[in-house]
Chains A and B, each alone.
Chain A
Amino acid sequence: MLLFVIRRALYTIFSLIAATAIVFFLSRAQGDPRNVLITGYFSQEIWEAWGESMGLDKPLIVQYLIWLKNACLGDFGTSINAARPARDLIMDRIPATLQLAGVSWILSFVIGIPLGVLSAVRRASFWDYFARIFALIGQALPPFWLGLMLILIFSVQFDLFPAGTRGGPLHYVLPCITLAWTAASGNVRLMRSAMLEVLDSEFVKLARAKGAGNSRVIWKHAARNALIAPLTYSGLILAAFMAGTVVTETVFAWPGIGRLAVDSVMQTDFPVMTGVVLMLTAIYLVVAFAIDICYALIDPRIRIS
């Protein structure tokens, strides 16, 4: 078990290095960052002083390693536009993103799991078709379009919910629907097919045979076993959320890390940009790591293979 944890941890760290290296080298592929940073007239001395202070006189790979070392110590460099440490800018924005993603994550399970169970237990009923259409729509809706249409209907037309920025509970409604619908659809589909399979298995029949009540059979015996599939998927949902926040936060002007990413890219603010990529990837990888470990604890077969 310990060996398994160590191996997974190494992979996690390696993935993190790979993701940041891509962004780092890509951002330098443009050439000398001084071309973007220094505008107007300047002397050769200033040019070289900048280069020295930023470590640009060293080879690219050394520059990356220096950046990596500093990032590990919590220093992502100084934001070019805000003249503040990039870390502070990112840390300011993280709570907003985590709240949005967290609420949506819970929402996707609270809606997806019961709907999936209901759909599998009462096949070909109204609820089955409702769940399947819900999932079908959810998996094909472009998130930015869904967000705009929700704004159009609920903010512009009926003025029920605010269309943007962070605030009271009402501010969460539209962004969370936008973010959660697709994930909830995935859960409905997975839970439905897993339930259908489990309901057909021997131990469920045994539970029925020994006289357990219907709801006990469904929730205690079947649903608990069927939950493994959505649980695995929850990691993927998180990955989708990390990418999805970029879109959702842009649509709803949500002051989170996703919007910071878009803004920093548009302003060619490289320290913030690489920092955001590191943070988004790190959040995803740490959760994926945690899920893997939980998984190995639940299911001994994974540890051995």
Chain B
Amino acid sequence: MASPSLIIEELQKQPNWFARKMRDLPVVPIAILSIILFAAIFAPLISPHDPEFMTLADRNAKPFWYDNSTGKFPLGADALGRDILSRIIYGTRISLLVSFVAIVTGVVIGGTLGMIAGYLGSHIDEFIMRLCDISLAIPYILIALVAVIIFGQSIPVLLAILAFSTWSAFARQIRGETLVLKELDYVALAKVAGASQFRILVRHIFPGVVNTIIVIATLRVGAVIMFEAILSYLGAGIPPPTPSWGSMVSDGRDYLPTAWWIAFFPGLAIFLTVTALNFLGDWLRDKLDPRLRQSV
């Protein structure tokens, strides 16, 4: 066994100090997410224009760095003369609302079912796991499109579909965790002490799966934001004129050759947000729950 100082020296010599540093605290992702949270809360104060105000005179106005730009719109304006920066800022609200509701519902449904399946086992486990399989096989994008035709574009319907698409990820992982936890001695002791099944699940199993829930929730937020963006892009998401990043990209689709900024900046916002969330999720996983590392 080498002395501690030797080990430290050895570590410092290794070329991956950059990787180790990054693993320590993901500063950039946290900064990006803080900015998004800030933007969502203070949207009316910081956005330079009304996100839904249209002036056709300003249609496809150029971003500020173009020579012939008026400078009125920092990131340009869309085909209806609406300020893109303001719309992106207001768009954070939709993304946060959607991901918050979908994740919380997903955790509650998926977590409960996962714990029940893992703890009770046998037929109930089988049944819940088959439900998970079915949920994985359902093409949610198409279901969402059908729902829009029938119920019209509405935020509650969208939230319900997003929640349904996300619970199975939680159920699966938490079932796996519960299978391990229920074999541990302290659970057996609780059983001997006469604790009810409900009490064992809530007081003894649940604290053990909290870390897993946090990690999966962080990783799933990105997926939910992406899913909402895809639906909005296809015209099945947030009803207009409420700004949503996905529908903003879709607005810019026809103006790609002449006004690339309409589609570019909202997409960049999605990309940065999801990257930051994935990064944070990976970091949390390594810190809180290294066993999960093998899963995507």
Please encode chain A, from 22 to 58, with 1 for each CB lying within 8 Å of some chain B CB and 0 for all others.
1100110110000000000000000000000000000
Given A15-B133, A29-B150, A143-B230, the answer on whether A136 and B145 have CB atoms closer than 8 Å is: no
A79-87, A95-103, A185-193, A296-304 - the one binding chain B: A185-193
Which residue on A lies nearest to B258, using beta carbons?
A: A156
Are A148 and B137 in contact, with the CB atoms below 8 A? no
> Taking chain B's interface residues, is the majority helix, strand, or loop, or is none over half, making it mixed?
helix
Are B296 and A246 in contact, with the CB atoms below 8 A? no
B50-58, B186-194, B264-272 - the one binding chain A: B264-272
Q: Does A250 contact B (CB under 8 A)?
A: yes
Give chain B residues whose Cβ lies under 8 Å from the Cβ of A74.
none
Given A19-B139, A140-B271, A149-B267, the answer on whether A11 and B130 have CB atoms closer than 8 Å is: yes
Are A139 and B146 in contact, with the CB atoms below 8 A? no
Selected contact of A152 from candidates B18, B141, B147, B260, CB within 8 Å: B260
Given A148-B249, A149-B264, the answer on whether A142 and B133 have CB atoms closer than 8 Å is: no
Which residue on B lies nearest to A274, using beta carbons?
A: B146
B 170-189 contacts with A by CB, 8 A: none
Q: Does B4 contact A (CB under 8 A)?
A: no
A 232-263 contacts with B by CB, 8 A: 233, 236, 239, 242-243, 246-247, 250, 261-262
Give the A-B pair count, Cβ closer than 8 A. Answer: 143
Which residue on A lies nearest to B131, using beta carbons?
A: A18
Which residue on A lies nearest to B130, using beta carbons?
A: A11
Are B150 and A22 in contact, with the CB atoms below 8 A? no
Given A194-B294, A262-B234, the answer on whether A273 and B146 have CB atoms closer than 8 Å is: yes
Nearest chain B CB to A222 CB, angstrom units = 15
Q: Does B207 contact A (CB under 8 A)?
A: no
Cα distance, A262 to B250, chains bound together (Å): 15
Which residue on B lies nearest to A19, using beta carbons?
A: B138
Given A22-B138, A229-B294, the answer on whether A142 and B249 have CB atoms closer than 8 Å is: yes
Q: Does A280 contact B (CB under 8 A)?
A: yes
Nearest chain B CB to A61 CB, angstrom units = 19
Cα distance, A191 to B14, chains bound together (Å): 23
A 272-305 contacts with B by CB, 8 A: 273, 276-277, 280-281, 284-285, 288
Given A23-B146, A186-B296, the answer on whether A145 and B249 have CB atoms closer than 8 Å is: yes
Range for the number of chain A residues in contact with chain B: 35 or more
Are A142 and B229 in contact, with the CB atoms below 8 A? yes
Please encode chain B, from 198 to 235, with 1 for each CB lying within 8 Å of some chain A CB and 0 for all others.
00000000000000000000000010001001100111
Give chain A residues whose Cβ lies under 8 Å from the Cβ of B143.
22-23, 26, 277
Give chain A residues whose Cβ lies under 8 Å from the Cβ of B260.
152
Cα distance, A186 to B263, chains bound together (Å): 26
Given A15-B137, A233-B296, A284-B137, the answer on whether A142 and B264 have CB atoms closer than 8 Å is: no
Nearest chain B CB to A223 CB, angstrom units = 16
Q: Does A1 contact B (CB under 8 A)?
A: no
Q: Does A268 contact B (CB under 8 A)?
A: yes
Q: Does B81 contact A (CB under 8 A)?
A: no
Are B136 and A124 in contact, with the CB atoms below 8 A? no
Given A145-B271, A152-B260, the answer on whether A19 and B146 have CB atoms closer than 8 Å is: no
Cα distance, A14 to B136, chains bound together (Å): 13
Given A142-B246, A194-B294, the answer on whether A281 and B137 have CB atoms closer than 8 Å is: yes
Nearest chain A CB to B22 CB, angstrom units = 10
Cα distance, A242 to B272, chains bound together (Å): 25
Are B146 and A288 in contact, with the CB atoms below 8 A? no
Cα distance, A265 to B267, chains bound together (Å): 25
Cα distance, A239 to B134, chains bound together (Å): 12
Q: Does A4 contact B (CB under 8 A)?
A: no
Nearest chain B CB to A94 CB, angstrom units = 15
Are A136 and B230 in contact, with the CB atoms below 8 A? no
Q: Does A62 contact B (CB under 8 A)?
A: no
Q: Does A141 contact B (CB under 8 A)?
A: yes
Q: Does A144 contact B (CB under 8 A)?
A: yes
Which of the listed residues A136, A151, A243 has the most CB atoms from chain B within 10 Å of its own CB?
Answer: A243
Cα distance, A186 to B294, chains bound together (Å): 11
Nearest chain B CB to A97 CB, angstrom units = 13
Are A142 and B146 in contact, with the CB atoms below 8 A? no
Nearest chain A CB to B193 CB, angstrom units = 31
Give chain A residues whose Cβ lies under 8 Å from the Cβ of B271.
137, 140-142, 145
Selected contact of B137 from candidates A250, A273, A285, CB within 8 Å: A285
Nearest chain A CB to B27 CB, angstrom units = 16
Q: Does B5 contact A (CB under 8 A)?
A: no
Are B142 and A23 in contact, with the CB atoms below 8 A? yes
Q: Does B8 contact A (CB under 8 A)?
A: no
Q: Does A220 contact B (CB under 8 A)?
A: no
Given A144-B249, A145-B267, A148-B267, the answer on whether A243 and B137 have CB atoms closer than 8 Å is: no
Q: Does B283 contact A (CB under 8 A)?
A: no
Interchain residue pairs with CB less than 8 A apart (8): A19-B138, A142-B249, A143-B230, A144-B233, A148-B267, A152-B256, A229-B294, A247-B141
Given contacts A142-B274, A148-B249, A190-B296, 7 further A-B contacts (CB under 8 A): A16-B137, A124-B16, A136-B278, A140-B278, A152-B256, A265-B149, A280-B139
Closest 9 CB pairs of A and B: A145-B267, A124-B16, A140-B274, A140-B275, A265-B145, A30-B150, A15-B134, A15-B137, A144-B233
Partner-B contacts on A (CB < 8 A): 11, 14-16, 18-19, 22-23, 26-27, 29-30, 123-124, 136-137, 139-145, 148-149, 151-152, 156, 186, 189-190, 193-194, 197, 229, 233, 236, 239, 242-243, 246-247, 250, 261-262, 265-266, 268, 273, 276-277, 280-281, 284-285, 288
